[in-house]
Structure 1
Amino acid sequence: MKNISKILTILSFVFLFACQQKENEPKKPKNIILLVSDGTGLSQISSAYFFKEEEPNYSRFENIGFIKTSSSQEDVTDSAAGATAFASGIKTYNGAVGVDADSTSVPTIVELVQDRKIRTGVVATSSIQHATPAAFYGHEVSRRFYENLTEDLYNSDIDYFAGGGLRFFTKRKDSVDLTKKLEEKGFYINTKELVGVDQMNGKSKAGFLLAETAMPKMQEDRGDFLPNATQLGIDFLNNEKGFFLMVEGSQIDWGGHANDASYAIAELIDFDNVIGKALDFAKKDGNTLVIVTSDHETGGFTLSAKKKKREDGTEYSDYSEVDVTFSTGGHSATLIPVFAYGPGSEEFKGIYENNEIFHKIMKVTGWNSKK
């Protein structure tokens, strides 16, 4: 009897230890929402605190890090190389989409998770074939091969996309209408407007192409397309296996290139509203990791004191009023912030290379392990 009692006591300790160890294991996120604000550095983010009427959603993050953005051959990256780092975990040359520095194709996160039945989607305010969204489904030696990238999208297993770029589907050199081909493949396709999930005729895949090239600017009454397309993507993709959704605020970058502060800030505020949608879902869901970052900074955007003139014509800086200045019409090599919320978010603290975003996602989800 004493031996049996000892055995039961040992088994009890083993069971309790195993339970405690399991409780201490970090929770794995089921869903990943990656939000990319193209061309956005710390100063652009700071502008939301001066120009947005409500408290920016950036304030809701506790785990924050920084990435180094140089591409494989250049100190200053472009969007194609930057997005390929996020999508495939490798450094490549500027202009490359889903290919390595030697121009060989590399698998994207969208492709790597398909065998796990993880549903995937991309959203952008550019054409859907533009560098950042294309890096998650395409493989081309040049980001300018828009018609080829459209074919890559058709041939991919992506479940949801929304943005511009209709002309590369319907006005092609080969005269093939790829919207019709996608419908034959089982897609719900809409070229007029976003609709609810219940209006998609029970389709398991959906694409929204709402502009011939890029979507309109916020200043041209684009409205809530980006927040709404993000929410629709979440609703459409959400399932018991999990999903991966990449959303790009594309035109913050374009405002930076144009040295147009009003353009860039309006797009940044729109993107901050997207962050709110993602965080609201993640908070309620409890199994979703939200990551917010950018491929690079554009424009050398600076929040400076407003320059004014005295009565005698001399100039001075009025520290009571913020103005925006630019130092370049191109990209810069500044460190880029990374904000993370949800299970696994602690992994994104620190300073690291941009391609580590991919590896950290695969690590915290367990998507890099054998099934």
Structure 2
Amino acid sequence: MRKAATTSYVPPTASTTTTSEPVPPSTSPSFINSVTNFIRNLHKAKGLREPRKYEDYNREAKDLFVTDAGEGFTVQLNKIIGQTAQHEFGLSHSVFVGGSGMRPPDYTTTVSFANKTTNLLSQIQLPHYIHFFMLKRKFLNEKLTTEVNYANANNNLIAKADYSDKDYVIDAQYDLEKGKIQISYMQSVLPFLQLGCSGFYRTSDRVSGLSTCMRYQPTKEAVVTAEAKVSGPLSQANTYNLKASYYQQVGVDTFLCTEATYDVSERTLNFIYGFQQMFQQAKFRVTASQDFNIKASFDIMPTMSTNINTSIDANPAKSEYKFGVAIQIN
């Protein structure tokens, strides 16, 4: 009689078990997490330069271009009437003669006070009796700066405030006459790169605007800046503007600058060229635009306390010429 076949029980092993396990979700970081980590690492980075305020992102170009070509004759006398290690009192007198049309001379007197955290200035101009007042004060270990300006000519009040840290600057401004509110932000992204954005709104004509800028400084001798801006009334078409500048120190005392502005709405492109030459006791600047408008300024210091400025503004296309001389004695 045949025996029935018997099978022995074999316990399952790791090699024979085929149970399926759930697949873990992907651990790749999202875009938001990547941006958050990048911003967090910015504060830990070393070598970042303290950025400038948004309005000063292209300060080199503004200082080189001649925009203050005067007209007439001005004499200014500055005097320190009291000075200690903690504070300083100053008094200034200025007389201006000339200008367009027949007008009496303008006389301006200024009283100023300054210490480590406070700047105070009061200025009166005659015969029109224009009073200008300025108070500037620093708080929070000089990280927060506030400024208030008042002029009785148009009863205008301007309030400013900016907060700066190692790698960013936030500033705000309010203009009472125009009803303008503006807020700006600048951030050092790399030791040679700064990015910023700014926005404003005017209640007087309901005009708003947004802008963004870039400041690239690979070396101490070269600065490249760019800005894109859009502005306009809320109920009308906006205007778009692009601006770029290049500043270069070509010698020990020689500087060049070029600025281009493009109006996207009107499709117009304008160029400005600037040149500056420094001497031992003098400085010469000249600015020319593509429509042959030439402005030049020459400063000379015959003594350590005297500065003489001669400026000219020439527009041959319109046959307009302005000439000015200013003497400043400290």
TM-score for the superposition, normalised by structure 2: 0.30
Q: Which structure would you say has the larger Rg?
A: 2
Structure with bigger RCO (C-alpha 8 Å, 6+ apart): 1
The structure that is strand-richer by fraction is 2
TM-score for the superposition, normalised by structure 1: 0.28
The structure that is helix-richer by fraction is 1
